[in-house]
Chain A
Amino acid sequence: MVIYLIVRRFFFLVFVLLGLSLITFTLSHVVPSDPARMIAGPRASPEAVEKIRKDYGLDRPLYEQYIRYMSGVVRLDFGESLSSRRPVNQDLKRYLPATVELTLYAMLFAVVSGIPLGVLSAVKRNSLLDAVTRTVSVLGLSIPSFWLALMLQFLLFAQLGVLPDGQRLPIGVKEPPTITTLYTVDALLSGQFGLFLTALKHLAMPAFVLGFGSLAIVTRMVRSGMLEVLGQDYIRTARAKGLEQKTVVIRHALKNALLPAVTVIGLQIGLLLGGAVLVEIIFSWPGIGRYAFTAIQNFDYNAVISVTLIIGFAYVTVNLLVDIMYVLLDPRIRVV
């Protein structure tokens, strides 16, 4: 059953990647600008521009360019970035880990604080704690992330000076040796505890801002799931057996209430990867969101398409993992 799901999703994944690349490719090639001129620079002679157009194959028909590009992509070669003049692969290797680390910490924050908040809020329904939690979750969904980011920078960096205003590490500080590419993990693995703390401090604000919306969603899902489960007969039975409140809530209710939350958490990871753009720009975070933004502004289509494909790939893959987990967690679900 799981195998069937995976096979089906694999075909869907191929379809999505083809579609994404086609749309982005078309979009970036009907631009009212001339990529050859962009590469050559503003002062290049018409002959030089012509030569570049030939060299880069930009004079070929669109479908031919697309096929050429895609035959590279299949071999995981995303071409050369038109603005950095480096292979896009190299750029991605540099920027992707920053986004992954940021997203992981944002998600960690959302899950670790969202689940207990949701549970407590449901168990103590209509209490002060419930009211506060619900207010926080409405705010989490409503505050513009870029505004929250700027306000926090103002408060925690400019006024109080307790947190840095951006970047992964202070300028001049040597990054940890690359093991997993995540600075915090690498710092710990190489035994540099101070560096770990520094990296963590730099992550704090961006991860909080990025995770705040997800925190709200996780809290709401867990709360409404818990409320629904707590009203059911088997919970009453468990209580009637004389089990402690703690056991009932954690062992009996939470386990079942978490199921819908799993889906949402999965979806959030996909959304956060793509949604990190604003946060990355404000916190000068060297991730792929900021990379994509710069690329879009420079009509650097090789870079734009590769980022779109990678995020699309991550999104579909995470969804597949969520579905598999769902099937494994809930024996009632049968794949259709």
Chain B
Amino acid sequence: MTAEPRTTEQRPLVLGLAEREVRRQGPLAWLVAFARQSPLNVLALILILLFLFLVAFGSALAPHDPVKPNIQVKLHPPSSTYWFGTDELGRDILSRVMSGAKYSLGIAFIILSIALVIGVLVGALAGYLGGLVDEVLMRVTDLFLAFPALILAMAIAATLGRNLQNVVVALTAVYWPWYARLVRGQVLAVKEREFVEAARAVGASPGRVMLRHILPNTMAPVIVQLTIDVGYAVLATAGLSFLGLGAQPPLPEWGTMIAGARTFFREAWWYISFPGLALTLTVVGFNLLGDGLRDYFDPRSRQ
């Protein structure tokens, strides 16, 4: 994790452009246009759709019970019955990987939703009000940024108790400051633009100016950051679970599975390989999507 290698590439992005296009074309046409821009975008969309599908239907479609032990078939190599082999308790690894998507990926979505709400709130207030409010809010934000992320998360998870709910608390504390800083910067850039002034001039309330005019125009870089962070949050969740601070066995969370496979990796390569591959491919998908969106929103990289 890897608590999060992060890019600090902060190019000015223009959502106006892309957003107008979504309105004009409808989301489906936009998807097609996005996919046509690069084959990597297609790969990203395929991977993400696959894993989103697993989040929704993975447990229902799993060929075997992901949790119930079946000792007779323990540590079987991949076969026509058990495509990904079985683990030390004879559970089907394919089924466990499929139903694990909703823990690994689902938790990441929850973490980022909360982090986004807090970050937007703090960032928008700081950027819009300025002055002392800005100073106080941003220093607190910087403080959280200076915290060694994984150690903060470990401390929170260990203190509150080892389960997925507390992983959400711990990683939300790690991620919100990035959004606060990002949104503040964008708000500062947008709030002096003419259309905001125009909205104020016709008597729009501060709340309306914020919600209808400023915030929507700050969202492009936030969306890009969110996409990339889904991958990192998946890695962080899995990392904490791997350390025993998150999901607990027998939950088929991918990090927990890798931790369990550690003892058997000499005799059962499949046990450790498939959950790790699932993790990697999920994160690859979101990283590629993030890159693709960045290029798509960045007017300089368009032909």
Q: Which residues of A contact B (CB under 8 A)?
A: 12, 15-16, 19-20, 23-24, 27-28, 30-31, 138-139, 141-147, 150-151, 153-154, 158, 213-214, 216-217, 220-221, 224, 260, 263-264, 267-268, 271, 273-275, 277-278, 281, 289, 292-293, 296-297, 299, 304, 307-308, 311-312, 315-316
Q: Determine how close the nearest CB of chain B comes to the CB of A218; give it in whole angstroms.
A: 10
Contacting residues, chain A, for B131 (C-beta < 8 A): none
Contacting residues, chain A, for B281 (C-beta < 8 A): 142
Are A315 and B148 in contact, CB atoms less than 8 angstroms apart? yes
Whether B149 sits at the interface, judged by CB under 8 Å, is yes
15 chain-A/chain-B pairs, Cβ below 8 angstroms: A12-B142, A23-B147, A142-B283, A143-B276, A144-B283, A220-B9, A224-B9, A275-B1, A275-B5, A275-B150, A277-B154, A278-B2, A293-B154, A308-B152, A311-B148
Are B147 and A141 in contact, CB atoms less than 8 angstroms apart? no
- Tell me the count of chain B residues lying within 8 A, CB to CB, of chain A: 48
Q: Which of B243, B266, B279 contacts A147 (CB 8 A)?
A: B279
Binds A, one of B178-186, B187-195, B231-239: B231-239
Whether B28 sits at the interface, judged by CB under 8 Å, is no
Q: Which of B3, B155, B156, B287 contacts A275 (CB 8 A)?
A: B3
- Kindly report which residue of chain B lies nearest to residue A140, judged by CB atoms: B5
Whether B212 sits at the interface, judged by CB under 8 Å, is no
Whether B32 sits at the interface, judged by CB under 8 Å, is no
Known contacts A30-B159, A138-B284; is A221 also within 8 Å of B9 by CB?
yes
Q: Determine how close the nearest CB of chain A comes to the CB of B87; give it in whole angstroms.
A: 15
Known contacts A30-B159, A311-B148; is A151 also within 8 Å of B272 by CB?
yes
Contacting residues, chain B, for A281 (C-beta < 8 A): 243
Bound-state CA distance A43–B53 (Å) is 52
Bound-state CA distance A68–B287 (Å) is 47
Are B155 and A15 in contact, CB atoms less than 8 angstroms apart? no
Known contacts A142-B287, A312-B148; is A293 also within 8 Å of B243 by CB?
yes
Contacting residues, chain B, for A151 (C-beta < 8 A): 272-273, 276
Q: Determine how close the nearest CB of chain B comes to the CB of A94; give it in whole angstroms.
A: 18
7 cross-chain pairs, A with B, having the tightest CB-CB distances, nearest first: A274-B148, A147-B276, A142-B283, A213-B5, A311-B148, A19-B143, A142-B284
Q: Interface centre among A15, A146, A260, A311, by most B CB within 10 Å?
A: A146
Bound-state CA distance A23–B155 (Å) is 10
The binding surface of chain A is classed by DSSP as: helix
- Kindly report which residue of chain A lies nearest to residue B261, judged by CB atoms: A150
Contacting residues, chain A, for B238 (C-beta < 8 A): 144
- Beyond the given pairs A144-B258, A271-B5, 5 more chain A to chain B contacts, judged by CB atoms under 8 angstroms and listed by A's residue number, are A12-B139, A139-B284, A150-B265, A260-B9, A277-B154
Q: Determine how close the nearest CB of chain B comes to the CB of A182; give it in whole angstroms.
A: 21
The proximity string for B residues 1-17 relative to A, scoring 1 for CB distances below 8 Å and 0 otherwise, is 11111111100000000
Summed over the interface, the residue pairs from A and B with CB atoms below 8 Å come to a total of 158
Known contacts A142-B283, A278-B239, A293-B154; is A271 also within 8 Å of B3 by CB?
yes
Q: Interface centre among B158, B269, B291, by most A CB within 10 Å?
A: B158
Whether B262 sits at the interface, judged by CB under 8 Å, is yes
In the complex, chain B residues 247-303 whose Cβ is within 8 Å of any chain A Cβ? 255, 258, 262, 265-266, 269, 272-273, 276, 279-281, 283-284, 287-288, 291
Bound-state CA distance A293–B242 (Å) is 13
Bound-state CA distance A98–B257 (Å) is 29
Contacting residues, chain A, for B239 (C-beta < 8 A): 144-146, 278
Known contacts A146-B258, A154-B269, A292-B151; is A16 also within 8 Å of B146 by CB?
yes
Known contacts A147-B280, A275-B150; is A141 also within 8 Å of B266 by CB?
no
Contacting residues, chain B, for A139 (C-beta < 8 A): 280, 284
Q: Which of A16, A144, A304 contacts B142 (CB 8 A)?
A: A16
Are A146 and B242 in contact, CB atoms less than 8 angstroms apart? yes
Are B151 and A307 in contact, CB atoms less than 8 angstroms apart? yes
Q: Determine how close the nearest CB of chain B comes to the CB of A67; give it in whole angstroms.
A: 20
Bound-state CA distance A278–B9 (Å) is 26
Are A264 and B7 in contact, CB atoms less than 8 angstroms apart? yes
Q: Determine how close the nearest CB of chain B comes to the CB of A226; give it in whole angstroms.
A: 14
Bound-state CA distance A146–B147 (Å) is 21
Bound-state CA distance A267–B280 (Å) is 24
- Kindly report which residue of chain B lies nearest to residue A17, judged by CB atoms: B146
Q: Determine how close the nearest CB of chain A comes to the CB of B257; give it in whole angstroms.
A: 10
Contacting residues, chain B, for A315 (C-beta < 8 A): 146, 148
Known contacts A142-B284, A312-B147, A316-B146; is A154 also within 8 Å of B9 by CB?
no
- Kindly report which residue of chain B lies nearest to residue A301, judged by CB atoms: B155
